[in-house]
């Protein structure tokens, strides 16, 4: 089994794969400071709750956009799981070629989303991730990460409303009964949800128009992605496990490469 970890700005999302089967998932809040011991013990406890022993984990891979947690998280994994994690970044084989102006600036989470969408659904594909930020990433038919769009996520927009105004409350993000809201909470929900739907449809339309890719598939993921995907025909597929699947695929590509290198080395030095 392998442990895959998506370190996002809001949550750390963990997945355990047995072969290609996702056996278990669990989450932690990213902004809670933890020592390496706390990470290690919590991970072992959460694995145990899913009837998985730490010694059953054969490998670990991480995609992180939060550098501050990496020292403690990596230390906890080494000390308590006994595995040195593979960190998605420069030098890691992904099968996706980043052809933007500054490839190193593309987040690891966006790379693994692109890997999973391309491997599972083919290209060209536009990958939408409704996380802390809402991202739109274009992967061409030949596997090039060609362009990316970044917008504030729905939760960021919601927090901006209630934190920066005196009378607007913190609300649950859900679709209201009607866009014709008649009180404060549903008016905020209408603006947030329908505003995100409108943004999504417009950006998809402009990407199709400027790229000229008429056969472009649109795949969405992320916590609030299902809410938006259910409200628009512009999204072809909602895949909740896309990021975790991408991590598994990247791990497999690099694990196979390491095995091949060891085999070649053994051939040269029998």
Residue 109 CB neighbours (<10 A): 26
User: Which pLDDT band holds residue 200 (cuts at 50, 70, 90)?
Assistant: very high
Sequence length of the chain is 270
Whether pLDDT at 261 is above 50? no
User: Which pLDDT band holds residue 258 (cuts at 50, 70, 90)?
Assistant: low
- Give all domains of the chain, ordered by start, each with its CATH number: 2-87 (3.30.420.40), 97-247 (3.30.420.40)
Q: Considering the entire predicted model, what is its pTM? A: 0.90
> 6, 68, 109, 236: which one is catalytic?
109
pLDDT digits (tens, 9 = 90+) for 49-91: 999 999 999 999 999 999 999 999 999 999 999 999 999 998 8
37 is catalytic: no
User: Which pLDDT band holds residue 264 (cuts at 50, 70, 90)?
Assistant: very low
pLDDT at 44: 97
pLDDT digits (tens, 9 = 90+) for 204-236: 999 999 999 989 999 999 989 999 999 999 999
pLDDT at 214: 86
pLDDT digits (tens, 9 = 90+) for 139-151: 999 999 999 999 9
DSSP per-residue string spanning the chain: -EEEEEE-SSEEEEEEEETTEEEEEEEEETTS---HHHHHHHHHHHHHHTT--GGG--EEEEEES-GGGHHHHHHHIIIII--PPEEPSTT---S-EE-SS-GGGS-HHHHHHHHHHHHHH-SSEEEEEESSEEEEEEE-TTSEEEEEEEEE-HHHHHHHHHHSSSSPPP------S-SS--SHHHHHHHHHHHHHHHHHHHHHHHHHHHH--TT-EEEEESTTHHHHHTT-TT--EE-TTHHHHHHHHHHHHHHHHHHHHHHHHHHH--
Whether pLDDT at 5 is above 50? yes
Report the alpha-carbon distance of residue 64 to residue 247 in Å, rounded: 11
Straight-line distance from the first to the last Cα atom of the chain, in angstroms, rounded to the nearest whole number: 30
pLDDT at 79: 96
Report the alpha-carbon distance of residue 35 to residue 24 in Å, rounded: 24
């Amino acid at each position: 089994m392998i442990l895959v970890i998506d370190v996002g700005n809001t949550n750390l999302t963990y997945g355990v794969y047995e072969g290609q089967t996702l056996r278990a998932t669990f989450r932690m809040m990213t902004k809670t400071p933890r020592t390496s011991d706390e990470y290690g013990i919590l991970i072992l406890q959460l694995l145990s709750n899913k009837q998985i022993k730490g010694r059953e984990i054969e490998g670990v891979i991480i995609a992180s956009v939060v550098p501050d947690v990496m020292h403690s998280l990596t230390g906890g994994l080494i000390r308590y799981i006994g595995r040195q994690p593979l960190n998605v970044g420069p030098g890691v084989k992904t099968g996706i070629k980043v052809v933007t102006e500054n490839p190193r600036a593309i987040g690891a989470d966006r790379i693994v989303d692109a890997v999973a969408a391309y491997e599972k659904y083919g290209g060209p594909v536009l990958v939408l991730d409704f996380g802390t930020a809402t991202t739109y990433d274009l992967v061409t038919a030949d596997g090039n990460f060609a362009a990316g769009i970044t917008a504030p996520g729905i939760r960021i927009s919601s927090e901006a409303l209630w934190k920066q105004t005196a009378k607007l409350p913190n609300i649950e993000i859900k679709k209201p009964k009607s866009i014709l809201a008649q009180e404060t909470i549903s008016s905020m929900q209408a603006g947030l949800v329908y505003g995100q739907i409108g943004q999504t449809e417009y950006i998809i339309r402009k990407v199709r128009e400027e790229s000229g890719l008429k056969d472009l598939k649109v795949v969405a993921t992320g916590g609030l992605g299902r809410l938006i995907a259910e409200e628009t025909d512009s999204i072809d597929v909602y895949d909740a496990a896309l990021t975790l699947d991408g991590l598994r695929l990247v791990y497999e590509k690099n694990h196979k490469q390491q095995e091949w290198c060891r085999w070649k080395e053994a051939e040269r030095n029998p």
